[in-house]
Structure 1
Amino acid sequence: MALRPWSCSFQAGSAGGEPRSTTRGARGSTNNNDNNKHNKDKQIKQPKTTTKEVDVRGAQELSIASSQLQKLVALGTKASLDEVSDIFSTEFCEWKRNPKRATVVLSCLAKQRLPHIARHVLTSMLVCRADANVFHYNAVISASGKGGQWQLALSLLSSMSEMRILPDRVSYNAAIAACEKAGQWQLALSLLSSMPDMSVCPNDISYNSAMSACEKGGQWQLALSLLHGMRSMRAIPDEISYSAAISACEKVGEWQLALNLLSSMPDEKVVPDQICYNAAISACEKGGQWQLALGLLSGMRSIVAVPDKISYSAAISACEKVGEWQMALELLSSMPDMRIIPDEICVNAAISACEKAVEWELALGLLSSMPEMRVIPDEISYNAAISACEKGGKWQLALVLVTSMPHMRVIPDEITYNAAVSACEHGGQWQLALCLLSSMPDMRIVADEISYNAAVSACSKVGQWRLALSLLSRMPDMRILPDEITYNAVVGVCEKAGQLQLVLNLLNKMFSCTYSVLLRFRLCTGDFKRG
């Protein structure tokens, strides 16, 4: 793991969420008759001196912490407890007098995403009997969450009661966020539900993290339930709450619910932001509602939310899915007018729209113009363009694209080769189809049933029944199960060649294979009745 250069911006006197000092250096009273003018002048100047002393003291704390943390970062993620203890051996006595110094160190470790080092620091404090408080634990729990160590975060939270430290809302929020980041939605919900039992009131941050965890876990019903239950716990939903709920609906294709949530936000005095709109547009895209997606996109321009690349890529994808290639191209061409630079996702969606409409010339034009748009084509770009050529019967261009990919530092995949083999099959180029199939292992690409079906079909179309039969016999060795398409192609070419005995054998195998597959399916699904 590469460590980032050390940097920590931390305000002295408010480390780790600890309350700032309420000392303001107010002027002393001048009502005492014994105070002379000299004393009055000293009293007037006192606030300035006190403030400077606080600033200097805070700067010194940060300087000391920075020096120590430089050493910690140099140790790396595998630092031992002894190594960490040695660095702070001279500081523990001072930490006993001033716990804020420890909070500064632990909070900065959280920002650096170094949970194990933060845990070692906390352990060293406990061993040296330096009083650890809730701020210290909160900082380490936060470090654990940011570092992807959700188990450590939960362990620290549970150990607080053993140390007679009461977890607060910050403790629970940090632990819930750790679970959310790791996709542990059940644990996030368990923590949220346990907060009232610990006399800790959840807030919007608590609910937002839990909803986001549900969204990542595909639990859209639970996300909606949390959103609707927030006000009963005196937590006010905000745009983050709604964006998490809308995204949860978007991921499972519930576009109607996503739009209902978006439209209800003004009634709840919540202004939809860019993320809310993007999630709603993506929900419409998944649901095939391209008109609604375009309506949302145009509506963004008239309110606070400003469209970005994600907004346009979702809208273009919505058009691509239903074959509205003209609209997809129009959206792509309008992006520079909105001062939005298209990325590969936007252009790929437009190429795919042209591919589905068999507009191979436009697809190739977009692919060739990507460098001018400062967009680097990837395998998705090439695969869509090759598929467009395949559908347009341009097998020569498909092969040119395949051979040009390595020069563009783009690695072909099975989709690339399947489209190219299929292009040769449509063009009657069975030799080239077989050549591509045989070259796939050299490219470390595993052929699948699509690859073999296209090659078998290429041989069948030109009466090469022996080659078709040979490919069929090789499929089990490649751990590929022939399907109905495979057998139909081979049976058809053998029948035309007058190989009736082979036809009968193939039909028996086909029936046996189909029955075996059906039997396994029914056993797996439990849909099997004894006679």
Structure 2
Amino acid sequence: MGELLRNSISFAIVSYGFGWRYQSCNQSKCRNSVCCRCFYSGLAMKNYKRRVVRCRLNMVSVPVHQCVWFGRLQMKMLRMNLQFESTRIDNKVNVPKMDASIESEMVSEDDENSLIQKGKEEFGLDSLGQNLPPWGKLVVDQSLDFEPRSVAQPSTSSNGKETVHDNKVHFLEERNEEELSRRILMLSRSNKVRSALELCRSMQLSGLQPNAHACNSLLSCLLRNGLLDDTLRTFEFMRRNEIFTGHTYSIILKAIADGQGCDAALDFFVELEGDSEQKKVFDVIVYNTAISICGRLNNWVETERIWRRIQENGYIGTQVTYSMLVSIFVRCYQSELALDAYNEMIQNGLEPREDTMHAVISACTKEGKWDLALSIFQKMLNDGLKPNPVACNALINSLGKGGEVKLAFKIYDVMNSLGHTPDAFTWNSLLGALYRANQHADALHLFERIREQSSLVNLHMYNTALMSCQKLGSWGRALQLLWQMEASGLLVSTASYNLVIGACETARKPKVALQVYDHMIHQKFIPDTFTYLSLIRSCIWGSLWDEVEEILDRVPPNVSLLNAAIHGMCLRRKVKSAKKLYLRMQESGLIPDGKTRALMLQTLGKGRFKVKRLSYRRR
């Protein structure tokens, strides 16, 4: 009730046909810089020739017990302290208890007009639009140090939005808390923010307490209107009076996350977890709210911690709980945790949603569990659900990596029957499945069909086809694909040229391989180790020893290239050339591999190398 005197407010009391009005005065018009409060009466005094009571209430500490009568309404001024506790009067209207002294003065009817005029001059009634005789003057003690505020003036909150000062209060004739709570609920649902706040504040000052349902509705109403500061003040009132439920914390966590950031919301949640009293009202919905906030940050570590806390506290997650867990874990590349959450969901007898099953299929494919992904896919079809193209592609790719080519093409047929159009990922997955199954001719045939029917052919598909050509030794087809790539404007890579050179190596076409190499240099592509390895092996099998020497002289000493050259020379009985390269490796400080040492021992004899080994040990 202290807010009645702390703030500059106005209120009205209507009882038995009489009206009282309380209006705050401007502090600058009061003497000794003392804030004044004035009462005015709307009694119809002109029709009665009776005396009017003029009273002045001064805020002092003298205990006085008197009664002031106004017509049929009796206001009993009891001992009034600074606690501002409410007391009952005969008309069921609450007024504050105050320490006051009452000075009464009887005024005749003749002085009425002068009294009214004096009231107008002293309190500026004309500016207030009032034509009522004053009841007296209420002078507030300076020691109370109240901060005056203007009536119903919104201020700006910390988040840049206006906040509603709930300064205006009402004297409530209705005393039923449930009825008043129902009114707050209806006002909040109607989005009448100011009226709901005023009614809630009036209940507080009257010693009444709204129920949790009404307060939660008021919190939601304030948030809809962007009034975060008022929301937090209302929440603090609810915490002090223990009017909170799990839904209350869910609302506040969302409000803090939206207004102050997800990190602040998570910090507040941890604080609530540490309070054993407030933690008692926690439910799964509160944990779901915290998990959703973690999902905004992709914080899978905190998500897992909250999930474990749900289990420790004996709660059972809902369908929403596990859907969020699976989604967050898959998004954060924690496929194993996603599968654990899904398995727990099935164990608890909960039916996964469509988006959950899509996410689990993705997690299964990343973990290589194509059998589980296939069973979930089949369950979706049996339930009348329509798997999306992403799930179909993921399953096709997983089956292809698992060597299940027939199943992969069956899923492709199902994908077409569902009305999904295959994309580049679909074709890449099918080509990859055929290549891994060593069905290279089928892969080339599928590539030709894709190139004729679709414009989605990309560099990866060309490279897969070139890999099949390399395995088959189809160097002519590889050259044809290379010219097509260059003509189509694709950014041909060094790997593509390496595959063509590899196809020439498989087909024992060293001269063609050297021509491709020269074309590669002409196109300003930089050869790598794989390029030179393929060229050296191809030239060795073609007995192009000069070209081998030229390639080795062109590049810096490389242990892989020297090992490959020595292997080939030993197998082709080029002992002198192999010995020369072996000594070159030793001089360069390169360490030959075991196969190279074994070949040199077998070719040049064991005795000499034993002597060298002993001399090396002596050193």
Normalised by the length of structure 2, the TM-score is 0.50
Say if 1:456 and 1:468, in contact at 8 Å, map to a contact too. yes
Say if 1:351 and 1:381, in contact at 8 Å, map to a contact too. yes
Task: Name the counterpart of 1:424.
Answer: 539
| Aligned 1:2-401 pairs, distance under 5 A | 92=158, 94-95=160-161, 97=163, 134-138=254-258, 157-162=266-271, 169=288, 171-176=290-295, 178-179=297-298, 188-194=303-309, 202-203=320-321, 205-212=323-330, 216-217=333-334, 219=336, 222-230=337-345, 236-336=351-451, 338-401=453-516
TM superposition shift of 1:376 = 2.4
Task: Name the counterpart of 2:61.
Answer: none
TM superposition shift of 1:355 = 0.8
Q: 1:501 aligned to 2:613?
A: no
TM superposition shift of 1:437 = 4.3
Higher percent of residues as helix: 1
Letter in 2 for 1:470: L
Say if 2:326 and 2:339, in contact at 8 Å, map to a contact too. no
Q: Distance in 1 between matches of 2:223 and 2:400?
A: 53
TM superposition shift of 1:94 = 3.1
Say if 2:329 and 2:335, in contact at 8 Å, map to a contact too. no
Task: Name the counterpart of 1:489.
Answer: 599
Q: 1:257 to 1:359 in 2, by over 3 A?
A: farther
TM superposition shift of 1:373 = 4.1
Q: 1:141 to 1:91 in 2, by over 3 A?
A: closer
Higher percent of residues as strand: 2
Q: Distance in 1 between matches of 2:544 and 2:227?
A: 71
Deviations 1:67-106 (A, max 9, x none): xxxxxxxxxxxxxxxxxxxxxxx984733639889999xx
Letter in 2 for 1:487: R
TM superposition shift of 1:156 = 6.1
Q: 1:502 to 1:178 in 2, by over 3 A?
A: farther
Deviations 1:235-281 (A, max 9, x none): 65345433433333333443333333322322344322212221222
Q: Distance in 1 between matches of 2:346 and 2:407?
A: 30
For the residue of structure 1 that corresponds to 2:417, the secondary structure is coil
Deviations 1:374-408 (A, max 9, x none): 43222332222221112122223333334444554
Q: Distance in 2 between matches of 1:157 and 1:372?
A: 56
Say if 2:326 and 2:360, in contact at 8 Å, map to a contact too. no
Q: Distance in 1 between matches of 2:418 and 2:614?
A: 66
Q: 1:311 to 1:366 in 2, by over 3 A?
A: same
TM superposition shift of 1:193 = 3.3
Say if 2:440 and 2:469, in contact at 8 Å, map to a contact too. yes
Across the aligned residues of Structure 1 and Structure 2, the Cα RMSD in angstroms comes to: 4.1
Further displaced range: 298-307 or 399-408? 399-408
Say if 1:211 and 1:245, in contact at 8 Å, map to a contact too. no
Say if 2:566 and 2:596, in contact at 8 Å, map to a contact too. yes
Q: Distance in 1 between matches of 2:490 and 2:227?
A: 45
Which structure 2 residue ranges, 5 or more long, are not aligned? Answer: 1-155, 164-221, 229-251
For the residue of structure 2 that corresponds to 1:331, the secondary structure is helix
Say if 1:430 and 1:455, in contact at 8 Å, map to a contact too. no
TM superposition shift of 1:418 = 2.5
Task: Name the counterpart of 1:465.
Answer: 578
For the residue of structure 1 that corresponds to 2:160, the secondary structure is helix
Say if 2:266 and 2:293, in contact at 8 Å, map to a contact too. no
TM superposition shift of 1:502 = 3.4
For the residue of structure 2 that corresponds to 1:371, the secondary structure is helix
Q: 1:327 to 1:431 in 2, by over 3 A?
A: same
Q: Distance in 1 between matches of 2:480 and 2:549?
A: 29
Letter in 2 for 1:465: A
Task: Name the counterpart of 1:127.
Answer: none
Letter in 2 for 1:158: D
Letter in 1 for 2:370: W
Say if 2:400 and 2:408, in contact at 8 Å, map to a contact too. yes
Say if 1:250 and 1:286, in contact at 8 Å, map to a contact too. no
Letter in 2 for 1:483: D
TM superposition shift of 1:365 = 1.4
Q: 1:503 to 1:334 in 2, by over 3 A?
A: same
Task: Name the counterpart of 2:565.
Answer: 455
For the residue of structure 1 that corresponds to 2:438, the secondary structure is coil
- Counting matched residue pairs gives 365
Q: Distance in 2 between matches of 1:506 and 1:426?
A: 32
Say if 1:211 and 1:244, in contact at 8 Å, map to a contact too. no
Q: 1:177 to 1:262 in 2, by over 3 A?
A: farther
TM superposition shift of 1:338 = 4.9
Q: 1:484 to 1:228 in 2, by over 3 A?
A: same
Q: Distance in 2 between matches of 1:491 and 1:92?
A: 83
TM superposition shift of 1:179 = 4.2
Q: Distance in 2 between matches of 1:504 and 1:136?
A: 79
Q: 1:256 to 1:426 in 2, by over 3 A?
A: farther
Letter in 2 for 1:208: V
TM superposition shift of 1:194 = 3.4
Deviations 1:213-237 (A, max 9, x none): 58x3563xx5433223335668653
Q: 1:268 to 1:506 in 2, by over 3 A?
A: farther
Deviations 1:392-447 (A, max 9, x none): 22223333334444554644333333223322333233443354345445xxxx94
Say if 1:141 and 1:174, in contact at 8 Å, map to a contact too. no
TM superposition shift of 1:173 = 2.7
TM superposition shift of 1:472 = 4.6
Q: Distance in 1 between matches of 2:296 and 2:406?
A: 36
Say if 1:386 and 1:398, in contact at 8 Å, map to a contact too. yes
